[in-house]
Structure 1
Amino acid sequence: MKIGELAKATGTQVETIRYYEREGLLPETSRTDGNYRIYGEAHAQRLSFIRHCRSLDMTLDEIRVLLRFKDAPTENCGEVNALLDEHIGHVAARIRELRSLERQLKGLRDLCQEARDAAHCGILNELARQGSEGGSSAAGHVHGAHGRSVERKSINDKRK
């Protein structure tokens, strides 16, 4: 099958497939005389495995390790267990970070119980005060697993 057919069969965007190929997660494919990549069922299964790992928020490096063991089925899977235990730790840390963020946001929300003019909005005033103090504002930062302040939007992306 061609890349478009693989994309459709696995629900994966073509550019994502190409990215996984560049990252070495998908093996090289044979090509037609017209230089089109030709994929087989093994590619579809591997891509589905990768997508499932990504849905579990695993990094590409973690997936590489898992694929290495998947490709060597007689190897001892102790390292796989350790990898998953470490990943569970990362998830637990993120949950704590997100709960802290939720508490901060609820604290901000409690500062403005009714709609009023923006000049007297408790939320806006507190965000401005925290921003001018150089502290981390509740809506914009959380502390990462290593104690660094991390942009909230990057909580999901900081572990690649």
Structure 2
Amino acid sequence: MNIGDAAKATGVSAKMIRHYETVGLFPQPHRTDAGYRQYGENEVHTLRFIRQARDLGFSLEQIKGLLALWQNRRRSSRQVKVLAQAHIAELEQKVRDLESMKATLEHLVHACHGDDRPDCPIIDSLSQGH
């Protein structure tokens, strides 16, 4: 199948497929004599794997590691679990960071009168640069 068909079959845009090829996450596919990319079931399966990992928030570097583990039939599940646990810790930190940002913004919004005057604690806070 061509790149458009592979994109439809996997939910990964053609642009992202090309990007994954460029960064070495996904191997360059076979090309026709006219230079068109050709994808088979193995490539589609790999793209679906990548999409699922991206949907869970794994970085491209982490996905490279997951792909290597997936393709290694001699891997231990421990290796996969350690990688997933590290990702959970990163997600937990992001949640804490987002909660902190939300609390700060809520405080600033509460302090803002929202009237016709120009003073605004939101703008003042942003202009202070810290």
Amino acid in the other structure paired with 1:71? Q
Q: Deviations over 1:104-155 (max 9, x none)?
A: 1110111135x410414xxx2x2343345442xxxxxxxxxxxxxxxxxxxx
Amino acid at match of 1:127: I
After TM superposition, what 4+ stretches of structure 1 lie above 4 angstroms from structure 2? Answer: none
Structure 2 residue 95 is matched with structure 1 residue 100? no
Partner of residue 42, structure 1: 42
- Over aligned residue pairs, what C-alpha RMSD do you find? 1.6
Residue deviations 1:81-122 (CA, integer Å, cap 9, x gap): 111111100000000001111111110111135x410414xx
Q: Name the counterpart of 1:58.
A: 58
Question: C-alpha separation between the residues in 1 aligned to 2:123 and 2:5?
Answer: 51
Letter in structure 1 aligned against 2:92: A
Find the aligned partners of 2:90 and 2:64 in 1 and give their Cα distance: 18
Tell me what 1:149 maps to: none
- TM-score normalised to structure 1 length: 0.74
Query: Relative to 1, partners in 2 of residues 1:118 and 1:46: Cα closer, same or farther, differing over 3 Å?
Result: farther
Unmatched 5+ stretches in structure 1 = 136-160
Taking structure 1 as reference, are residues 134 and 31 closer, same or farther at Cα in structure 2, changes over 3 Å only? closer
Distance of 2:100 and 2:4 partners within structure 1: 43
Is 1:116–2:115 an aligned residue pair? yes
Q: Partner of 1:154 in structure 2?
A: none
Rate the CA distance shift 1:127–1:36 in 2: closer, same or farther, 3 A: same
SS at match of 1:28: coil
Q: Determine the C-alpha separation between the residues in 1 that align with 2:95 and 2:107.
A: 18
Which digits, 9 at most, give the CA deviation of each residue in 1:53-92, with x for residues without a partner?
1111110110000000111122213221111111100000
